[in-house]
Structure formats: structure tokens, C-alpha cells
Amino acid sequence: SYVLTQPPSVSVAPGQTARITCGGNNIGAKTVHWYQQKPGQAPVLVVYSDDDRPSGIPERFSGSNSGNTATLTINRVEAGDEADYSCQVWDSTSGYVFGTGTQVTVL
């Protein structure tokens, strides 16, 4: 089965940049989507198709994908960005696969 690995946690000071990685075998050949999930709430799409943003998502959120790693970058981090972030791909054998999730803490 296809596995996506994320760091359990990332800590960042307000105003700085947070980078959340999503590792998978040749993930650069797949299309990656990212979700933000705050406690007690449903996930919300923040980046789709590697690097596109849905309407209403700040430009501070961006994505990239190459080789064995996809990255979600949050510039000028704010307290309201504190949440869990999960990556997601489609694999022809496993179906839809989600990453293990990363808790972003704003110091």
C-alpha cells in the first residue's frame, strides 16, 4: 500500500514561515492536496492540485511537489493557523491516501 509520511509536529513563531512536508515514493508523479483541521471541526481544503488555492484561502498558503516530497508552506504565520494539516493523494492500488498529519503550533 502507498504510505504518506508527515512530521508529527512543527512549531513556528508568529510572522515566520512554517513548512510541512509530506513524503511518499515518487510523490512528485502524483497530485497532492492539503487540508487544515482545527480541533472539533471538519477538515478544510487549503491547497489542491499541488499548488492551487481555493477561493477564500489566503495567499500565505502555498504548495510544491517534487521527487519524494511535497511541501505545504505557510508564510507570515498567524495564531489562527494553529491546526492539524494533512496531505492527500490518489494511488491506483490503495485509492485515496491521507498523510499521517502534522500539528502546527504557533509559539
Partner 1 sequence: QVQLQESGPGLVKPSETLSLTCSVSGGSISSYYWTWIRQPPGKGLEWIGSIYYSGRTNFNPSLKSRVTISLDTSKNQFSLTLNSLTAADTAVYYCARGRSGLGGWFDPWGQGALVTVSS
Instruction: Give residues in contact with partner 1 (CB under 8 A).
Output: 1, 31, 33, 35, 41-45, 48-49, 54, 86, 88, 90, 93-101
d(CA 73, CA 21): 9
Q: How far is the CB of 52 from partner 1 (least distance, A)?
A: 9
Which amino acid is it at 102? T
Q: Which has the closest alpha carbon to 87: 67, 104, 70?
A: 70
Of residues 55 and 59, the one with the C-beta less far from partner 1: 55
Of residues 17 and 58, the one with the C-beta less far from partner 1: 58
Instruction: List, in sequence order, every residue forming a beta bridge with 107; answer none if it has no partner.
Output: none
Q: How far is the CB of 56 from partner 1 (least distance, A)?
A: 11
Q: How far is the CB of 17 from partner 1 (least distance, A)?
A: 24
Q: Which value, to the nearest 10 degrees, does the dihedral of the CA atoms of residues 100, 21, 88, 35 take? A: 90
Of residues 28 and 98, the one with the C-beta less far from partner 1: 98
**DSSP one-letter code for 23:** E
